[in-house]
Structure 1
Amino acid sequence: MSETFAPSSRPFDLLVAGEINPDLILNGDVEPAFGQVEKCVDSATLTIGSSSVIFACGAARLGLRVAFIGKCGDDLFGRYMLEAMQERGIDTRAVIQIPDGHTGMSVILNRGSDRAILTYPGLIAALSADDIPDDLLGQARHLHIASYFLQTALQPGLPDLFRRARRLGLTTSLDPNYDPGASWQGIRDLLALTDVFLPNQTEACALTGTDDPAKAARTLGKQTGTVAVKMGTQGALGVQGEVMAHAPALTVPVVDTVGAGDSFDAGFLYGYLQGWTLERCLRLGAVCGSLSTRTAGGTAAQPTLAEALGFLEREK
């Protein structure tokens, strides 16, 4: 089985339409308290943030040709993000910089396997479907959307965007991420237009009203093409038609779980675009997600394809 893509007439394997923001990650076993209480953390790291960008970095690290469209300010954080993306081989020519705009930012208090997140939206929500022209879509094989609930300007036009993408021959994927409003509205209307749906366990169960991830996956699988449910240390399970499969997570020293689900998505979609079986896609996703937790931030420990395949073969 080939591990690399056959030549394609389209210049990009993936087009990612998403939010752009850095993360300030604070590590320590502390809990903030008001009343001017000062507490110390163990470390602080400014790094690449946003589910969409972390995914794009993971996909590029695996060797996929990735283009990105989103909006950011022509400010310190915006320039930092664009330079970091370009250094990782992501084509950012379609990114729209707003001269007087403010790039969003997330402050993450990381405490082992759990974390609290405060996000300043800035331009995170500003991208709309009308900003994504057909000639850009037509340059890619696959369209990926993440952070659905944060990208409020994109939401109304997303069904039509997915229809346009499909008419142009692209497959589509969606990672909803968490809904800050806990309403979970809008996702169900998109499932029929989504080829790969990539929720985590909490999101899948909230969308289906069950606490059983396997049942949630089966329910979602009846509404979309392929479902992969991320379950942290329990690995991942997927449904594709009548097939259900499971892949375990790797046992690695966990430093930071930020972006692990996005790295999983990158691995899963690499396999999906290769035409791999559901189980093998899940296994590569689990390898990529697990390995990404070895250092602080979502991108520093993302594996190359050779490294990921080495672990994949070892786990047979």
Structure 2
Amino acid sequence: MTAEIDVLVLGGAGVDTIVRVPELPVPFADSHMVPAIETRAGQTGDFVSLAVHALGLRTHHLDMIGDDHPGDLVRQLHRDRGIPLTEVPQPAGTKRAVNLVGPDGRRLSLYDTSRSRETDRLPPATVTALAEVSRHAHVSITHPCAFALPLLRAAGVTVSTDLHNWDGANPYHEAFAHQADLVFVSTTALADPERTMRRIAERGRASAVIATAGAEGAYLLLDGELTHIPAVPPPAPVVDSNGAGDAFAAGFLFGWLAGEPPLRCGLYGAVAGAHACTVLATSTDAIGRDELLARAARARPAAPARSPLDDDIQGERV
């Protein structure tokens, strides 16, 4: 069957309330005056959908959404950006979170766990029908998506996932880590990033594992070789790190689906992630294809801060 969708994004639709705070952590006090509080649609699946769509890939988003105002915001975002959305009713309501963002762009996210139920599922027939006309599926680590992974495998699409700030031990993430062809993970909570990356590759089916490390860049594990992907200097001041990891994944996927060499995919990810850090999350703007390619062509990777992984790397390749 001919592919009609380049990237099918599962899960991760929701609404964030962005609170810009004077500093993180927020000092204890009865109250604080903050520069801004704004609620907008856009969680990890939304951000990946927006980012790959902006890069010219045919995109479709599937998730559970409530019949409520936050759900209306999610639906409106997709309509405004021209991204098809298949929604499954979510009786508990649309997912929501509060993100505290400091002056340097760092963030602390607070997720409302009341917006999900153990019985939540994406309809198998819907997942299969969409997967059968898709080239690739990017799966958010939300509860219903875990049950969709075998269906995606049966449909024959390649699968990617982002484990975000996994600690390398929580068993919840293992189903996603071990059933995806491409695995993204942040080094933030990993005591030994290289060990975790190699364990993912050994126990699962991933052909590549990518660990993002903020200003240090990222690390790519491919065919047993660990390679550093240098960070790219942001084109403007860093104001917000919300969505930077999603942008990196989208940039990497853009290159991967085009058949580019893995390190070029990593460069695309670094450029897209750097751009995301210069954009307020309330605007949900992603870098476009032409701008990504132009910046990648002239990119001069920043000298990375020293990382514990550096001792294990035999040499950087750019």
Same fold per superposition (TM over 0.5): yes
Of residues 112-121 and 53-62 in structure 1, the stretch that sits farther from structure 2 once superposed is 112-121
Q: Distance in 2 between matches of 1:221 and 1:298?
A: 36
Could you tell me which amino acid in structure 2 is paired with residue 58 of structure 1?
A
Among candidates 121, 127, 134, match of residue 133 of structure 1: 127
Shift of 1:189: 4.4
Matching of residue 119 in structure 1 with residue 111 in structure 2 = yes
Hey, what does 1:222 align to over in structure 2? Answer: 202
User: 8 Å contact 2:18–2:39 — kept in the other structure?
Assistant: yes
Hey, what does 2:256 align to over in structure 1? Answer: 272
Secondary structure at the counterpart of residue 128 of structure 1? coil
1:292 to 1:66, Cα distance in 2 relative to 1, 3 A: same
Among candidates 16, 20, 29, match of residue 9 of structure 2: 16
Could you tell me which amino acid in structure 2 is paired with residue 152 of structure 1?
H
> Structure 1, residues 194-224: CA drift from partner, whole Å, max 9, x if none?
1000001135x2xxxx43x344434433342
Hey, what does 2:316 align to over in structure 1? Answer: none
User: 8 Å contact 2:63–2:122 — kept in the other structure?
Assistant: no
Hey, what does 2:100 align to over in structure 1? Answer: 109
Hey, what does 1:142 align to over in structure 2? Answer: 136
> Structure 1, residues 49-100: CA drift from partner, whole Å, max 9, x if none?
21111111111111111111111112111011111022222111x21245x6
Shift of 1:299: 5.8
Shift of 1:32: 4.6
1:89 to 1:166, Cα distance in 2 relative to 1, 3 A: same
Instruction: Give the 4+ runs in structure 1 shifted more than 6 A.
Output: none
TM-score, normalised with respect to structure 2: 0.83
User: 8 Å contact 1:292–1:298 — kept in the other structure?
Assistant: no
Among candidates 152, 158, 171, match of residue 158 of structure 2: 171
Q: Distance in 1 between matches of 2:57 and 2:283?
A: 15
Hey, what does 2:307 align to over in structure 1? Answer: none
Could you tell me which amino acid in structure 1 is paired with residue 79 of structure 2?
Q
1:77 to 1:17, Cα distance in 2 relative to 1, 3 A: same
Could you tell me which amino acid in structure 2 is paired with residue 276 of structure 1?
E
User: 8 Å contact 1:260–1:298 — kept in the other structure?
Assistant: no
Matching of residue 198 in structure 1 with residue 184 in structure 2 = yes
Shift of 1:179: 5.4
Q: Distance in 1 between matches of 2:224 and 2:128?
A: 34
1:106 to 1:192, Cα distance in 2 relative to 1, 3 A: closer
1:196 to 1:27, Cα distance in 2 relative to 1, 3 A: same
Q: Distance in 1 between matches of 2:283 and 2:6?
A: 20
Q: Distance in 2 between matches of 1:251 and 1:141?
A: 32
User: 8 Å contact 1:113–1:256 — kept in the other structure?
Assistant: yes
Secondary structure at the counterpart of residue 294 of structure 1? coil
Give the root-mean-square deviation of aligned CA atoms: 2.5
Secondary structure at the counterpart of residue 171 of structure 2? coil
> Structure 1, residues 269-299: CA drift from partner, whole Å, max 9, x if none?
1111111111011110111011011121076
Unpaired runs of 5+ in structure 2? Answer: 301-318
Among candidates 223, 226, 230, match of residue 244 of structure 1: 226
TM-score, normalised with respect to structure 1: 0.83
Secondary structure at the counterpart of residue 79 of structure 1? helix
Could you tell me which amino acid in structure 2 is paired with residue 106 of structure 1?
A
Of residues 228-237 and 118-127 in structure 1, the stretch that sits farther from structure 2 once superposed is 118-127
User: 8 Å contact 2:88–2:122 — kept in the other structure?
Assistant: no
Could you tell me which amino acid in structure 2 is paired with residue 103 of structure 1?
T
User: How many aligned residue pairs are there?
Assistant: 292
